[in-house]
Amino acid sequence: MPQKIVKKLIKSNKSTASITPKIFKKLLSRQTETILDAVDERLARTDERIANIDRRLAMTDERISLIEQRLVKSEERFNRKLDDLMTALDKFLKRLMDTEDEFAIMKLDINRIKKVIREKLKVELS
């Protein structure tokens, strides 16, 4: 038993003979109740803090989930636009290659025509 309680009891009763085991147990019981009440109070405050942290974590999880959903939608939009761009580039390159092929064929045709004109008409074309 803490000395403060014993001293207080001694001062209030003026005699040490009046501290009986029954009174001593009662004092210990009061002290124990006081300590347990203080511990319970601190645990209750700690529980409140933990509950607040849990609520904040739940809110944060919801926000992260929303951000992830938005990110997935953004990625899908980006991929669609990228696919469209790739398709447009493929079409452009095909047209360019077709034009180059046609130009090469036309050049060969013109060279043949020049050769025929040179041979038949004896005219030099540049």
Give the Cα separation of 113 and 115 in Å (integer): 5
Length of the chain: 126
Give the Cα separation of 61 and 44 in Å (integer): 25
- Model pTM? 0.52
- What digits encode the pLDDT tens for the residues 14-57? 555 567 888 888 888 999 999 999 999 999 999 999 999 999 99
b/e for 74-91, b at 16 or more Cβ within 10 A?
eeeeeeeeeeeeeeeeee
- What digits encode the pLDDT tens for the residues 17-26? 567 888 888 8
Residue 27's nearest CA partner among 41, 13, 14, 39 is 13
Give the Cα separation of 75 and 89 in Å (integer): 21
